[in-house]
Amino acid sequence: MRFVPVCAIAVCLVGSWFGRDAFSQDLKKGVTDLAHVDADFHLQGEYTGCVLFSDGYQRTVGLQVAALGDGNFDALWYQGGLPGNGYDGSTRRKLSGKRSDARAELTADGLAIELQPDSAAIVKNSAGGVLGYLQPQRRYSLTEGAAPPAGAIVLFDGKNIDRLKNAKITADGLLEIGAETKEPVQNFTLHAEFRTPYMPYARGQARGNSGFYLQKRYEVQVLDSFGLELQFNDCASLYRFKAPDLNMSFPPLSWQTYDIDFTAPRFNAAGERITKGRITVRHNGVIVHNNLELENKTGGGSPEGPNPLPILLQNHGNPVNFRNLWLVNHDAAPSTCPPCTSVATANCARGGLVSDATQPPCCRKRLRRCR
């Protein structure tokens, strides 16, 4: 993720997250089509800008606004900017409020924020004085759309499902929940893109729930956890084992990415575990678990063992969708050109980095060709 400079709007991130009002479907079951959202959807999302503080200095802040149904909203205020884009790690401030007609006002002690569609949020003090303006943002992951490197196993490209079982594809070419890989996996890197539905009335584990069950043992949770204080069962958590280091969730109906490096535990001939498994998870391009040691299987996962098992996209009954799934098998025989990292490939595709000294020579040559 790119970071927001102090008191400067990151132009590369700006883009209206608002759209026109449309007919509202059954929001309790989950909406996957922007044409069927409600008026609250056009106020929720991410904002950032400069605000005047009580010491007389302007500072950059970020704001995440989550819709809770019937015009109700909760929000988190981040000092320094949004998570992954300037947030300084200090205590977050919670605001709450309600929509009246097209506008909503969020309040906390001594602070009020006015929201309206397609406009900057107005930050005011308790006396009604304007302290600053926060512009709506639409962020993307730098690994979104990352192409599979040479030698990767493409699990789903929008059409081919030969490497999956129980796979169902929507009319617009997205993978539904419940699929799993036909082949078991051991040590690998997985790139995946997912989208949670808009479910403003749902709470907790009922709000856009799915997950990547690695080896059917270790779950990296998928959930609409946007704008929440994280718990150990929220998005990007190792389910009921460890919450992510940072909440990098984007709003519902945004495409998000996981880039997961997984090393399976090792067992001796007697079936005794001699080394624990390890995992690194990048959520929307930001590391949220760094080479974390896995104590055991998570949640309802299968018991640990030496035998490799498939990856399962958990079916929890919510309409979560997936796209661009690929896997690099670290147990396969090395090719003449080791695969380039997904981040380097994504940056290259976006016209970003064209050279990276940490990449193998053939990858550096490939990146230079993107210039």
Strand order across the beta sheet in which 321-329 lies: 153-156, 321-329, 188-195, 256-263, 277-283, 286-294
Q: Is the pLDDT assigned to residue 2 strictly greater than 70?
A: no
Q: Which of 21, 15, 88 is nearest to 251 (CA)?
A: 15
Q: Which of 35, 39, 47 is nearest to 251 (CA)?
A: 47
Contacts of 20 (CB under 8 A, 6+ apart): none
Average pLDDT, integer, range 95-102: 95
Write out the residue limits of the CATH 2.60.120.560 domain(s) in the chain.
Answer: 153-332
Q: Are 6 and 30 in contact (CB under 8 A)?
A: no
pLDDT at residue number 359: 54
Give the architecture-level CATH label for domain 153-332.
Sandwich (2.60)
Q: Are 234 and 243 in contact (CB under 8 A)?
A: yes
Residue percentage of the chain with pLDDT more than 70: 83
What's the CA gap between 347 and 344, in Å, rounded?
5
What is the dihedral angle through the alpha carbons of 218, 190, 13, 222, rounded to the nearest 10 degrees?
-30
Average pLDDT, integer, range 362-367: 50
pLDDT digits (tens, 9 = 90+) for 55-89: 999 999 999 999 999 999 999 999 999 999 999 99
Confidence of residue 363 (pLDDT cuts 50, 70, 90): low
pLDDT at residue number 332: 85
pLDDT at residue number 27: 86
Write out the residue limits of the CATH 2.40.128 domain(s) in the chain.
Answer: 11-137
Q: Is the pLDDT assigned to residue 8 strictly greater than 80?
A: no
Confidence of residue 230 (pLDDT cuts 50, 70, 90): confident
pLDDT digits (tens, 9 = 90+) for 233-275: 999 999 999 999 999 999 999 999 999 999 999 999 999 999 9
The domain defined by 11-137 folds into: Lipocalin (2.40.128)
Q: Is the pLDDT assigned to residue 30 strictly greater than 60?
A: yes
pLDDT digits (tens, 9 = 90+) for 326-348: 999 999 876 555 555 555 554 54
pLDDT digits (tens, 9 = 90+) for 138-150: 999 999 999 999 9
**Burial annotation 46-77 (CB, 10 A radius, 16+ → b, else e):** bbbbbbeeeeeeebbbbbbbbbbeebbbbbbb
Confidence of residue 14 (pLDDT cuts 50, 70, 90): very low
Q: Are 46 and 170 in contact (CB under 8 A)?
A: no
pLDDT at residue number 26: 81
